[in-house]
């Protein structure tokens, strides 16, 4: 059976009406939308064909039709009219991103809340390095003979510090030598290589300094490996309660719990500036009745971020895609214009 232009036109009407009303769409409403150019009888035949082809579904309690995931996919790929943000929308996004540049995690947390508030769906956001995090610089600040503060600047300019208690007394005057060794041998390399180099320099330093060096590298490895893991921040899960699809408290609770407790399973595509996943295209069972739109943004310093929204398959894809793209572009400009200060440690 051929998917004619008229069938596509009717499918487009059904999708867009259903997005607006959340109610099954009947032949009379479609005929009115099409200006009376096609009779209701003809439309009913076309609707039956679209159901048979898998693009529409017919709820048991209604004579109207609703889009299937396959229908939404065709709509997104071929029928959806790409939207441009209005001047007012662009200004609203820019205003919401007028953030005081602070720690990276606080910036993206604020941005996630802004996206959820503006798009009216739960949002998630993350930032991650394109490669393993490394140390950029070390400092050792002596406190007394048995303690010092190790300070490490990471590749993304964040600064971590910790007080180390020493098992052996260390001559404070020897600290600069150890700092030079740290900065010449242990910066700009992955954590597994740091451990190997520690063994290689063992004979170059006296025992009490080697003990401090070992403690410093152990601390650095722990911090760098933790920093290399992707942190996902979610916002606005309660937006689900406003949607007709989640009037069932159990269904809403299931998805809200997923966003809170299993957020590491949210889609994190690596390809392209934007990805739209519809219904069963999502791997996680908790998302099989939802759609996810994800956009990427550039942080600089070999880092990138992802920002996405989770909503019903009935979402207004054109509007969501345009607004999310606007946020992604805004975040790229935001990070491109300003350098993050050091962070203290306390389509298919």
> What pLDDT is recorded for position 103?
55
- Token pair in block for residue 100: 């005081």
Q: Which of 113, 70, 80 is nearest to 13 (CA)?
A: 80
Q: How confident is the model at residue 222 (pLDDT cuts 50, 70, 90)?
A: very high
pTM: 0.69
Residue 49 CA to its chain's centroid (Å): 38
Mean pLDDT of the chain: 87
Query: What value does the mean pLDDT take over residues 302-316?
Result: 90
- Distance between CA atoms of residues 223 and 107, nearest Å: 20
CB distance 139 to 161 below 8 Å = no
- Give tens-digit pLDDT for 151-187: 999 887 778 999 988 877 778 888 898 999 999 999 9
- Give tens-digit pLDDT for 31-63: 998 888 889 899 999 999 999 999 999 987 677
- Token pair in block for residue 315: 């979402």
> What pLDDT is recorded for position 206?
84
- Token pair in block for residue 174: 């020897």
Which residues are within 8 A (CB) of 37 and not within 5 positions of it... i.e. 6 or more apart?
none
- Give tens-digit pLDDT for 224-267: 888 776 778 899 999 999 999 998 888 999 999 999 999 889 99
- Sign of the torsion formed by the C-alpha atoms of 264, 269, 275 and 277: negative
> What pLDDT is recorded for position 101?
43
Report the residue count for the chain: 348
DSSP annotation of 65 reads B
Radius of gyration of the chain (CA): 27
- Give tens-digit pLDDT for 317-341: 999 999 999 999 988 887 765 443 4
Domains of the chain: 5-79 (1.10.10.10), 87-130+230-337 (3.30.450.40), 135-228 (3.30.390.60)
Map 150-208 to HEC letters: EEEEECCCCEEEEEEECCCCCCHHHHHHHHHHHHHHCCCCCHHHHHHHHHHCHHHCCHH
Q: How confident is the model at residue 117 (pLDDT cuts 50, 70, 90)?
A: very high
Range with lowest mean pLDDT among 217-221, 296-300, 312-316, 333-337:
333-337
């Amino acid at each position: 059976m051929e998917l004619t232009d008229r069938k596509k036109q009717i499918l487009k009407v059904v999708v867009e009406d259903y997005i607006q009303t959340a109610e099954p769409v009947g032949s009379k409403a479609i005929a009115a939308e099409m200006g009376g150019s096609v009779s209701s009888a003809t439309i009913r035949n076309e609707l039956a064909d679209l159901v048979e082809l898998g693009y529409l579904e017919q709820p048991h309690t209604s004579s109207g039709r609703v889009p299937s995931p396959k229908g939404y996919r065709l709509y997104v790929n071929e029928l959806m009219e790409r939207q441009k943000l209005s001047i007012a929308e662009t200004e609203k996004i820019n205003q919401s991103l007028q953030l005081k540049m602070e720690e990276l995690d606080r910036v993206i947390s604020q941005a996630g809340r802004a996206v959820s508030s503006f798009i009216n769906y739960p949002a998630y956001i993350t930032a991650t390095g394109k490669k393993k995090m490394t140390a950029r610089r070390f400092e050792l600040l002596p406190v007394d003979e048995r303690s010092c503060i190790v300070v490490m600047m990471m590749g993304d300019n964040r600064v971590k510090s910790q007080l180390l208690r020493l098992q052996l007394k260390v001559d404070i005057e020897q600290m600069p030598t150890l700092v030079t060794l740290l900065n010449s041998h242990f910066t700009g390399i992955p954590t597994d290589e740091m451990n190997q180099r520690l063994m290689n320099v063992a004979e170059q330093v006296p025992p009490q300094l080697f003990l401090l060096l070992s403690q410093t590298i152990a601390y650095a490895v722990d911090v760098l490996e933790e920093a290399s893991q992707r942190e996902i921040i979610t916002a606005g899960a309660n937006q689900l309660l406003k949607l007709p699809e989640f009037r069932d408290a159990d269904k809403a609770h299931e998805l809200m719990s997923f966003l809170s407790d299993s957020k590491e399973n949210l889609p994190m595509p690596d390809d392209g500036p934007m990805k739209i996943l519809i219904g069963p295209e999502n791997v996680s069972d908790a998302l099989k009745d939802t759609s996810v739109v994800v956009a990427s943004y550039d942080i600089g310093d070999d880092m990138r971020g992802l920002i996405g929204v989770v909503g019903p398959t009935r979402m207004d894809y054109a509007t969501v895609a345009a607004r999310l793209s606007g946020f992604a572009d805004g975040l790229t400009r935001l990070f491109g214009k300003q350098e993050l200060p050091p962070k203290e440690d306390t389509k298919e």
